[in-house]
Amino acid sequence: MTNPFFAAWDTPFGVPPFEAIETAHFAPAYQRALAEHDREVAAIAGNPEAPSFDNTIAALELSGQLLRKVDMVFSQLASANTNPELQAVERDMAPVVARHWNGIFLNAALFRRIDQLYRQRDGLGLDAESARVLERYHLDFVRAGAQLSVAERARFAEIIERLAVLATEFAQNVLGDEQETVFALTEAEVDGLPGDARAAAAELARARKLNAPFAASTSRSSVEPILHYATDRGVREKVWRAFVDRGRNGNSHDNRKIIAEIVTLRSEIARLLGYDTYAAYKLADTMAKTPEAAQGLLEQIWSPGVKRAEQDRDALQELVDAAGGGFRLEPWDWRFYAEQLRRARYDFDESEIKPYLQLEKVVEAAFYTAGRLFGVSFTPRPDITGYHPDVRAWSVERDGRTIGLFYGDFFARPGKRSGAWMTSFRDQQKLGGEVLPIIVNTCNFNKPPEGEPALLSLDEARTVFHEFGHGLHGLLSNVTYPRISGTSTVRDWVELPSQLYEHWLEAPPVLARLTHYKTGAPIPPDLLTRLKAARNANTGFETVEFLASALLDMAYHTRPAGEPIDADVIESETLARIGMPREVALRHASPHFLHIFSGDGYSAGYYSYLWSEVLDADGFEAFEEAGDPFDAATAGRLYTYVYSAGGSRDFAEAYRLFRGRDPDVGGLLRGRGLVALEPLEDGAAV
């Protein structure tokens, strides 16, 4: 069997030849890639020459190319197009890959070379970018246990390996519950759903071969329309309960014991590295710096968020009572009655805007925005095949030259985990020659029947812009070294380019391009006026469900080592402590909180979406102050210091260079329509 990973890819842009890649190729590809990387690292660590930036740091940056190639393809397939065989490979390889990286970060000879360079850094004559890369490498190794004793390094490696296994099991369990739970629905049970949601429910019933006209799964794209529009309260309740109980059903997919072990092991890591808590360890290398600063921001927004949510709750209960409902508002009722309240208060029904939010046109609008801001253009590439028939590709050009390739994978399907994310098959770099990025945006919108357009909700359209903001962060990267390329930044900065990009969805020149999918007519001015008036109609709910999850994340990761971990108890105690309104549910309950338990990326870091919102709200006000959402001077600074810079400079400095000052929390409060508060104390803001 010829393994495509062992040959050069003679494809446009050198993209992965997905039609030739089979599951059976991954295990041998990993084995060869890991062995090759081991040899490269051993040669660097054992180099008899005195350490230099080129023979140590640059050499490390150039090493592991086959491993990077295999890993980037595998990780996306395991998330977006998996199957039982691929999941078996994932379970097998998770500890092996973790062990490999442990061996690198805990290599004493290698760290001695890096440490010597770091101590001599001021005399090496490095340019600013190279100095930054050296600093990050040294910090990476220190935070990965390089300064621990021999016994401590062994235990640290053991923990990291085990955590890799647990994270894989956690994610697979959530997907398992989502795939196994499906509800057959009758015509009466989908009463109230808009036409596109009904069509998606019918398509799901056909795909699952159910003897019913409609169906719902527990993926968010299937659940949300039912919670918003289904008139059958019983249907809303059973779908909501299944959705919030993913990973907490007492079956083989139950994640609560996994959570306990993950949190316990993370606390032990923190103790080994000299931190009181895992949150203190994780936040030391962020803009926030401390758990207290992150928690302070969350709690500052909590009070006005809860106040608004409670006001809305009372108004929703009045709607229930006025309709003779005879019941107390429950979490599965909130979205349904919030839609009614929005119509009553603002004469706005979100289904009115959906005909103007055809997926194709929203994507084109995101491309148009990039062109206006950064001079980027996108050309469809039907000759480039993806890993699934739904995946499409575009080449990306700027200043008369190709700068990368963009894949879009927009529809939900079995074997694809919930949510939306950006990843890459190749990152931009210039070390050893120009390397163009290959970026992927993945979403989970309902796929319409053949020949019908995919119509998005306003929130889904924002998701397109959000993930495309991440995509631009990768595509526009213009650095030399892989370590600081694109989205290789601290967690509470990486969401800035994505959240900031969402603002352009409602810029008048962009809205003008979103025409009716049947008539081609622009959005009527009256509808736009009502849309903007209704923008903050449910802000209290949205703020509370997010903040509660962020505070829950901090509750897990600020626990000192040795405390018993019971996910149900910690969750209930946290919600009681913060005064969570009973009618609002966590956006991510513990057993399916993929952000913090399916990997380490957002652990003790879910707050970063709000931290970045302070930055993005304040940052977009720079364009408003200029009087033009596409002001050239402001866009130029945004490109230079944010989108193209990767992790090449201190992030607080980068923001000041873009904005001309430190960020102000006022933009966030104004954007969410919350009560204005006093500015954060110095050092507690961003």
Three-state SS string over 205-257 comes to HHHCCCCCCEEEECCHHHHHHHHHHCCCHHHHHHHHHHHHCCCCCCCCCCCHH
* Domain-located, residue 212: yes
Do 119 and 185 have their domain in common?
A: no
Residue 683 has pLDDT above 70, yes or no: no
Do 9 and 135 have their domain in common?
A: yes
Residue type, 159: I
Q: What is the mean pLDDT of residues 392-396?
A: 98
Question: What confidence tier does 672 reach under pLDDT thresholds 50, 70, 90?
Answer: confident
Residue 120 has pLDDT above 70, yes or no: yes
Question: What confidence tier does 1 reach under pLDDT thresholds 50, 70, 90?
Answer: low
* Domain-located, residue 111: yes
pLDDT given at position 666: 86
Write down which residue in 227, 244, 261 finishes a domain.
244
pLDDT given at position 675: 53
Do 69 and 130 have their domain in common?
A: yes
Do 118 and 204 have their domain in common?
A: no
Residue 369 has pLDDT above 50, yes or no: yes
Mean confidence (pLDDT) of the chain: 95
Residue 686 has pLDDT above 70, yes or no: no
Q: What is the mean pLDDT of residues 513-517?
A: 97
Domains: count for the chain: 2
Q: Range with the lowest mean pLDDT among 334-348, 545-559, 624-638, 659-673?
A: 659-673
Question: What confidence tier does 681 reach under pLDDT thresholds 50, 70, 90?
Answer: very low
Q: What is the mean pLDDT of residues 621-640?
A: 98
Do 68 and 143 have their domain in common?
A: yes
Write down which residue in 97, 124, 147 finishes a domain.
147
Query: Which helix H or strand E contains 398, and what residues bound it?
Result: strand 392-398
Question: What confidence tier does 572 reach under pLDDT thresholds 50, 70, 90?
Answer: very high
* Domain-located, residue 185: yes
Do the beta carbons of residue 295 and residue 554 sit within 8 Å? yes
Count, in order, helices (H) and strands (E) of the chain: 28, 7
Give the number of residues written for the chain: 686
Give the model confidence (pLDDT) of 420-435 as tens digits: 999 999 999 999 899 9
Q: Residue 67: which of 29, 94, 41, 98 has the closest Cα?
A: 29
* Domain-located, residue 503: no
d(CA 463, CA 586): 19
270: left (phi over 0), alpha (psi -120 to 50) or beta: alpha
Query: Which helix H or strand E contains 393, and what residues bound it?
Result: strand 392-398
Residue by residue, DSSP assigns 519-535 as: T-PPPPHHHHHHHHHTT
Query: Which helix H or strand E contains 167, and what residues bound it?
Result: helix 150-180
Question: What confidence tier does 449 reach under pLDDT thresholds 50, 70, 90?
Answer: confident
Do the beta carbons of residue 639 and residue 658 sit within 8 Å? no
Long-range interactions of 87-90: CB distance < 8 A, separation 24+: 87/172, 89/23, 89/26, 89/27, 90/168, 90/172
* Domain-located, residue 197: yes
Residue 263 has pLDDT above 80, yes or no: yes
Q: What is the mean pLDDT of residues 308-323?
A: 95
* Domain-located, residue 558: no
For residue 490, the 8-state DSSP code is -
Q: What is the CATH number of the domain that holds 120?
A: 1.20.1050.40
Do 12 and 128 have their domain in common?
A: yes
Q: What is the mean pLDDT of residues 458-463?
A: 95
Task: Say if strands 182-185 and 214-217 run parallel, antiparallel, or are unpaired.
Answer: antiparallel
d(CA 172, CA 170): 6
Give the model confidence (pLDDT) of 282-302 as tens digits: 999 999 999 999 999 999 999
Do 86 and 143 have their domain in common?
A: yes
What domain range is 100 assigned to? 4-105+107-147
pLDDT given at position 601: 87
* Domain-located, residue 402: no
* Domain-located, residue 73: yes
Do 142 and 188 have their domain in common?
A: no
Do 113 and 219 have their domain in common?
A: no
Do 135 and 209 have their domain in common?
A: no
Write down which residue in 244, 270, 296 finishes a domain.
244
pLDDT given at position 41: 98
Residue 448 has pLDDT above 60, yes or no: yes
Q: What angle do CA 246, 247, 250 make, to 5 degrees?
A: 110
Do 225 and 127 have their domain in common?
A: no
Do 138 and 196 have their domain in common?
A: no
Answering whether pTM is above 0.95, one says no
Show which residues are catalytic. Answer: 467
